[in-house]
Structure 1
Amino acid sequence: MKTISLSYSADLNWTASLAEQLDGKIEKNNIISCESISTGDRFFMNIQKGVVVYYHNTITHVDIRMIQKNNTDDYIAVYYILSDQYSKYLSNDFSFDIGRWRYNFLIVDSKVESTYYIKAGTKTLALALFIKKSVMQSFAKNNRCWFSDLDKMLNPPENLIIRLDRMSNESIQEINDLRKLKVGGLVFELYLKAAVELLFSNYLKKVSTKRTIIETDDSDFANIVAAKLFLINNIEEHFPSIKSISNIANMSESKFQHLFKKITGTTVNNYFMHNKLIRAKELLEENELTVSEISDRLHFTNSSHFASTFKKHFGILPKQFIKQL
């Protein structure tokens, strides 16, 4: 197992240490890892003074233990983590599974010491933001999303994970869109900066509504995750009945629909349609099928229904979207 010890900060002082421990080097804003450890992109950038973003889209080739013990306590770390396997996150006496279908969003005070275990073969798409507390305070005020718990975020009474949550579908899509761009260069940097501002602004607005993390029985949560996976794996088919999906979740229809909305923030039907439209967008970007063929493949009623639904969701007709590619 490869052990990497880091002290992050809201500047770029940590990048050289990470590159060295990956037996790699830094080229411009990219950390190039030794290929026997990991492959893929590791890109870092100053968004503004006191705000740093670290984007990585990588495949890990060895088991890795990431130990984080910071030398400063003046920033907040915000993690958006999409990985195809669960990775283990440990802090104090707590242990969490982190991954695309589990917890995938964390806000952590820089006082927190933590360990993150990543299995060999894990594919990870992630954004990490390191934000000075003073900058976060100004950002919240300027965007009119001040809320009572912000003081607790900026001055936590003890070493703690401030928030452990799940990303919205919109946040996941925003990060997935970054993956389609060539890393480095002005275009990528502009998209990355815009994505960071949108993601964090949306998050602050969400928590300003005082929405709390949903607590559910572990087995219920696992069953909802299983139902979500079933929907994603069958995204090109007709919408299955609520009865059939609730059977997969081993729940009554009413309990399933109630918990699904609590956990995901949306209904089963809306979740399915949102992801079907994301799939449609991907097929359009591949530019191998016509609009009519995509409509048929995804089992829309007809091309007109597909076009109107796509426009309602993305604000543009499929044919117009193709012309912009």
Structure 2
Amino acid sequence: MTKTITFENIEEINQQNSINSNIFEIPKNLANGEISIIPITKGLYFHKFHIDVKEDFIIENKFESTLFSFSAFLNGEINYENKDFKIKKTFKPNHLAVSALNQENGKSFYKKGSSLKIINIVATNQFIKNQILQEDNSNLNTIIENLNKKPFFEFIKDSPCTFDTLNTLNTIFNTTYNNKLDNLLLQSQTLELLYNWFNSINKDDKKGIPNIEKEYLNKVLLYIDTHLFEDMSLKELAKVASTNETKLQENFKLQYNSTVFAYIINKKLEEAKKLLETNNYSINEISKLIGYKHQSNFTTAFFKRFNISPKKFIKNKEFYF
């Protein structure tokens, strides 16, 4: 039988403003790694998951608490299920999933062989009331009002992270916050991310992309994933989305805050990083595989994306990402 680990009373960790983190170690027979819970400021904290899964297991969250959750998957993916709200979802790497809820009774399924690096920023009711609530009829206020109606659970956004967002998230993930200056850096970076994310939610009601077009965009993402090492034209992707090239570019930018080809380049570089970790390919082989004619151009793009050269990444990969 698959082992289940249950977490309850999610707000207990953030009762006091402290720079000290709390660490939950996963049983060694299930995984190597831990979950760190790090307070940022009153009513705001984040979970940092750094886990290499050895055996299948389930984490079950059971609590009643009003919050916004911003889950960013830097590496790996998990399946999530919530029977109360009839939700089944797969959290994908390099994506941000935003949810608003006041009740949680969900299960996350961790698969053997997965290597997970996740940041989950949590804004509690205290933070929402003091920092977010506005005196207008914005989309964000509508969601906050819905949080007062129990039970409530809604996934608001699920979109690829931009290059800048991923760079900031990786900095947050890889920094050890053990003094006040480090904590100040953490606060500034996290609050900037939250400003951008909440502002994006607030503008969503003005974007007005029909659900059917969102479904077509999801098909485009799937097509890109399955044809990543092939040449893809905008015309080809527009056909997948059942639209024209101009409309595809407009909708893609509105939905994912990225151009189509910037997204493709980002996906290719992520795959290149994974291939470098295997030690099965040379840098030149990987650069050609993802479409770079010259290794120097690949090296430049890789450094711009990850702030480290491919050669140095291979030598130091156990310390990065």
CA distance in 2 between partners of 1:11 and 1:190 (Å): 22
State the partner residue of 1:105: 97
Distance 1:87 1:61, change over 3 A: same
Instruction: Specify which of 125, 129, 142 is matched with residue 133 of structure 1.
Output: 125
> Structure 1's 69 and 146: CA in aligned 2 closer, same or farther, altered over 3 A?
farther
What does the per-residue CA deviation read over 1:143-167, in whole Å, with 9 as the maximum and x for residues that have no partner? x897623344334223222333224
TM-score, with structure 2 as normaliser: 0.66
Whichever residue aligns with residue 56 of structure 2, its letter is: D
| Superposition RMSD in Å | 4.9
Separation in structure 1 between the aligned mates of residue 87 and residue 31 of structure 2, nearest angstrom: 24
Q: Which amino acid aligns with 2:6?
A: S
How far the C-alpha of 1:12 sits from its partner, in A, is 0.9
Query: 2:114 matched to which residue of 1?
Result: 122
SS, match of residue 126 in structure 1: strand
Partner residue in 2 for 1:286: none
User: Which residue in 1 is equivalent to 2:168?
Assistant: 174
Which residues of structure 1 form unaligned runs of 5+?
A: 15-26, 283-288, 319-325
- Tell me the CA shift for residue 87 of structure 1: 0.7
Residue-by-residue CA offset, 1:49-76 (whole Å, 9 max, x unaligned)? 22221111212223223322215x3544
Looking at structure 1, the residues matched to 88 and 43 of structure 2 have their Cα atoms a distance apart, in angstroms, of 29
CA distance in 1, matches of 2:38, 2:170: 19
Q: Which residue of 2 aligns with 1:204?
A: 198
Unaligned runs of 5+ in 2: 275-281, 310-321
Q: Distance in 2 between matches of 1:161 and 1:213?
A: 22
Alignment of 1:153 onto 2:143 = yes
- 1:96 equivalent to 2:88? Answer yes
Give 1:123-272 correspondences, 5 Å limit: 123-140=115-132, 148-155=138-145, 156=147, 157-170=149-162, 171-179=165-173, 181=174, 183=176, 185-186=178-179, 189=183, 191-211=185-205, 215-216=211-212, 220=216, 222-230=218-226, 233-234=228-229, 240-245=232-237, 249=240, 251=242, 254=245, 257=249, 260-261=252-253, 263-272=255-264
Counterparts of 2:261 and 2:213, CA distance in 1: 23
How does 1:258-297 map onto structure 2 within 5 Å?
Answer: 260-261=252-253, 263-273=255-265
Pair 4,133 (structure 1): closer, same or farther in 2 beyond 3 Å = same
Please state if 1:52 is matched with 2:45.
Answer: yes
Check conservation: 1:165, 1:213, Cα contact below 8 A.
Answer: no
Paired residue type of 1:119 = K
Instruction: Indicate the residue corresponding to 1:37 in structure 2.
Output: 30
Match of 1:322 in 2: none
Counting matched residue pairs gives: 291
Hey, what's the Cα distance between the residues in 1 that align with 2:138 and 2:183? 33
How far 1:241 moved relative to its partner?
2.3
> SS where residue 4 of structure 2 aligns?
strand
1:115/1:222 CA distance change after superposition, 3 Å: same
In structure 1, what is the equivalent of residue 5 of structure 2?
4
CA 1:302–1:2: 2 relative to 1, 3 Å: closer
Q: Matches of 1:133 and 1:188 in 2, distance apart?
A: 25
* CA distances 1:64-105 after superposition (whole Å, capped 9, x unpaired): 23322215x354444334553441332424222222269741
Deviations 1:241-270 (A, max 9, x none): 2245457x4856547556644543433234
Contact 1:91 1:115 in 2 (8 A): no
Retained in 1: the 8 A contact 2:62–2:106?
Answer: yes
Paired residue secondary structure (1:163): strand
Aligned pair partner of 1:62 in 49, 55, 68 = 55
CA distance in 1, matches of 2:143, 2:203: 15
Corresponding residue for residue 24 of structure 1: none
Q: Distance in 1 between matches of 2:124 and 2:232?
A: 46
**1:120, 1:278 → 2: CA distance?**
21
Deviation, 1:47, is 0.9
> Which one is further off, 186-195 or 40-49?
186-195
Structure 1 pair 36–138 and aligned structure 2 pair: CA distance change class (3 A): same
- Contact residue 64 and residue 119 of structure 1 kept, 8 A: yes
TM-score (norm 1): 0.66
